[in-house]
Amino acid sequence: MLTPAERVMILRAADLLKDAEPRHLLGLAEVAREIEILKGDCLYREEDPADVLYMVVEGRVRLSTGGRTMSEVGPGEAFGTWSLVDDSKRGHRSDCVEDGLTLALHRGEFYDMAAGDLTLLQGIIRLLAKRLRALVLERPGEARVEGEGVEKPEAVVEAESAAAARPASGGD
């Protein structure tokens, strides 16, 4: 069984939680669950809902899509990170390849804890915004947010449509 201090250090390694305040990490550490994993176990499948962040304490987990290995994660690494903020399917499968232990943080418990103190959510939003900015700089053509900078604002489109629908006035 992990101590609260060990749980806090493990959670701090998760990318989305790295800037969280110690009090937030301690609260999350209290609701996180230890899950023993055994070689051959499937933690989740591609079509399963994404609702748990996992941190590997011991052992190794393989992440794959369509039978192709994407990566393996080991001690101190997180997987399923976006489960805390994204309400979608997993999109990949996770299988234990070496016996060990994970720390699992469920989205519902994360939001229950965060609801009492919005500074945790604000920190995560700031981190996501930094990642989005980096993506835009790295691949500007692929990283548009809602067509930002590409499409005309809705009000402009409506005004242009209204102007085009009006009959042209003669120069009499």
Residue-level pLDDT at 42: 95
Judged against a pLDDT cut of 70, whether residue 95 lies above it is answered with yes
Residue-level pLDDT at 129: 83
Mean pLDDT, to the nearest integer, of 89-98? 92
Residue-level pLDDT at 167: 67
CA distance 74 to 72: 7
Map out the domains of the chain as residue ranges: 4-116
Both tokens assigned to 164: 């085009």
Residue-level pLDDT at 154: 66
Residue type, 104: A
More confident residue, 41 or 162: 41
Name the CA radius of gyration of the chain, rounded. Answer: 22
Residue-level pLDDT at 143: 52
Judged against a pLDDT cut of 70, whether residue 13 lies above it is answered with yes
Q: What CATH class has 4-116?
A: mainly beta
Look over the chain and give the mean of its residue pLDDT values, rounded to a whole number. Answer: 83
Count of residues making up the chain: 172
Burial class (CB in 10 A: 0-12, 13-18, 19+), 61: buried
Residue-level pLDDT at 59: 97
